[in-house]
């Protein structure tokens, strides 16, 4: 698909890099990019000199593009990049489209939407299910909230980066789905880590234990992919542990607002928090490193 105006992309980290590369390789367009750390922008410019322009600020990206995608890792990053005097919101004018793919709180997404639409822009909430490898292979799942016509207008770009996309209603609902998904994933990983730790303590052959799990009702891609790496103590970050813990905490906050107790999630979250502290200090490792906290 050929785009008439450049596409903006802000936030080029573990996830954003793969997402942007899929857009560059599949969409006939120029791209204007910005990241708080400039090194990754320079690297991408060297790879795609005919397709990429590096903007001087987040607001400059928005000003130069019809649609701008953002993939920031934390609430703090969102506030820093969106709310700054030269940030995303400052660059919005009539007709500009902002698509935020970060995992934030639903309240934060609603606030972004309010600020952007107040300036005549349009906002689509689009957090993703998937980590580094799905981002690189274009197999993310987009969990969206916002206007249905806007959602449909972004279909070609979402399809270039993902294998599926869903619209769940108003802004905020996409994030609610994402928090439920990551809450379940985090507790599953916590239980899996405990099982491997117990198996090791009982002197079981962990390779055979993984085979047994994969042949039964608990077989799933996460256990299949992460299990051997956990046994070998390899924790290169596809989904950093600190981000998994952030999402579980946000899910617990959401549950509290609905008067719901999540004891299993609360217990798992405490292990993630413990794993981020010395002497383990696994915050920047893959979330499967929660096993180190045991």
Annotated catalytic residues are 178
Rg (CA), the chain: 20
Q: What are phi and psi of 218, to 5 degrees?
A: -90, 5
Instruction: For residue 7, list its beta bridge partners.
Output: 31, 67
User: HEC states along 150-176?
Assistant: HHHHCHHHHHHHEEEEEECCCCCHHHH
Q: How far is CA 203 from CA 104, 230, 294, in A?
A: 41, 16, 16
Assess contact for 193 and 294: CB atoms under 8 A.
Answer: yes
Q: What is the DSSP string of 183-213?
A: HHHHHHHHHHHHHHHHHHHTT--HHHHHHHH
Q: How far is CA 114 from CA 107, 128, 172, 249, in A?
A: 10, 21, 12, 24
């Amino acid at each position: 698909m050929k785009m008439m105006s450049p596409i903006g992309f802000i936030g080029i980290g573990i996830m954003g890099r793969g997402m942007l590369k899929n857009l560059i390789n599949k969409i006939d367009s120029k791209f204007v990019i910005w990241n708080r750390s400039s090194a990754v922008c320079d690297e991408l410019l060297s790879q795609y000199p005919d397709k990429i322009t590096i903007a001087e600020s987040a607001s400059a990206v928005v000003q130069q593009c019809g649609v701008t995608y953002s993939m920031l890792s934390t609430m703090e990053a969102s506030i820093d990049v969106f709310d700054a005097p030269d940030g995303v919101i400052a660059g919005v004018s009539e007709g500009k489209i902002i698509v935020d793919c970060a995992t934030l709180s639903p309240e934060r997404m609603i606030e972004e939407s309010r600020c952007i639409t107040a300036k005549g822009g349009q906002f689509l909430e689009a957090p993703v299910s998937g980590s580094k490898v799905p981002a690189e292979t274009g197999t993310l799942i987009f969990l969206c909230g916002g206007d249905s016509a806007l959602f449909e207008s972004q279909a070609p770009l979402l399809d270039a980066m993902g294998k599926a996309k869903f619209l769940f209603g108003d802004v905020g609902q996409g994030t609610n789905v994402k928090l439920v998904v990551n809450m379940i994933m985090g507790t599953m990983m916590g239980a899996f880590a405990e099982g491997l730790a117990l198996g090791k303590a009982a002197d079981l052959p962990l390779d055979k234990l993984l085979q047994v799990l994969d042949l039964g009702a608990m077989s799933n891609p996460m256990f299949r992919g992460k299990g051997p790496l956990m046994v070998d103590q390899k924790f290169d970050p596809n989904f950093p542990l600190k981000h998994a813990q952030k999402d579980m905490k946000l899910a617990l906050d959401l549950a509290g607002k609905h008067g719901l107790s999540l004891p299993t999630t609360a217990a798992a979250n405490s292990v993630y928090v413990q794993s981020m502290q010395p002497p383990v200090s696994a915050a920047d490792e893959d979330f499967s490193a929660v096993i180190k906290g045991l």
